[in-house]
Amino acid sequence: MLFSCEKPILNEEDANDTPKTITFQLFSPAQARTTRSAAAITDFKKIYIYDSKGGYQEQLLEQSADDPDFGSPTITLTGGHHQLTFAATDNADAYLDGSILRQETMGDTFLKSIDINTQNAPANQRIVLERMVAGILYKGEGTVTLSGLRNSLSLSSAKPAKATTVVIS
């Protein structure tokens, strides 16, 4: 906040700096067609939410399948414009390395990035995630080398972090 001799000068974003609590209900594309909320989360083991504001990380949340609100996370956002990235995987061994989601064994992974303004955002929102990575099943004989597989996902950019080479035998 800046001050003049007559009155305070407020930045537009600072004027509405009231935190807002929002509950998100997450779905995969096929599950979005059903009305049962329990069916929306049955295949996921971990969910991550990366919250950034003005290009800087505000918070990074992780949910595991045993959390009571799994698949329907509630998050409190500071006032203003945020970019939220949601990632969900069926790989129980996925882990965070900073803001990088790593999976030694690739799981079925879903992602969605949204922009949100807390001033007019509804308190409950439905998010349909998009498939990023599907597991690989090799039923052939011999050894096969697959290059360019993505087992690291940057939550800050919502893009793969690096490609790897996997040998399947």
Domain ranges, residue 106: 18-135
Asked if residue 162 belongs to a domain, the reply is no
pLDDT of residue 39: 37
Rounded to the nearest integer, the mean pLDDT of the chain is 77
Average pLDDT on 109-124 reads 92
For residue 113, what is the domain's CATH number? 2.60.40.2100
Asked if residue 76 belongs to a domain, the reply is yes
Tokens standing for residue 10: 């407020």
Tokens standing for residue 117: 């303004």
Asked if residue 157 belongs to a domain, the reply is no
Tokens standing for residue 48: 């991550």
Q: Whole-angstrom Cα distance, residue 90 to residue 68?
A: 17
Average pLDDT on 117-133 reads 90
CB atoms within 10 A of CB 112: 18
Asked if residue 55 belongs to a domain, the reply is yes
Asked if residue 164 belongs to a domain, the reply is no
When divided into structural domains, the chain yields a total of 1
Asked if residue 1 belongs to a domain, the reply is no
Q: Whole-angstrom Cα distance, residue 81 to residue 144?
A: 46
pLDDT of residue 151: 66
pLDDT of residue 63: 93
Q: pLDDT tens digit string along 132-163?
A: 765 555 666 776 655 555 567 677 776 666 65
Residues sharing a CB contact under 8 Å with residue 157, sequence separation 6 or more, in sequence order = none
Asked if residue 69 belongs to a domain, the reply is yes
Among the listed residues 115, 121, 122, 124, the one whose alpha carbon sits nearest the alpha carbon of residue 82: 115
Query: Of all residues in the chain, what percent carry a pLDDT higher than 70?
Result: 65
Q: Whole-angstrom Cα distance, residue 102 to residue 94?
A: 6
Asked if residue 114 belongs to a domain, the reply is yes
Coil/strand/helix, residue 129: coil
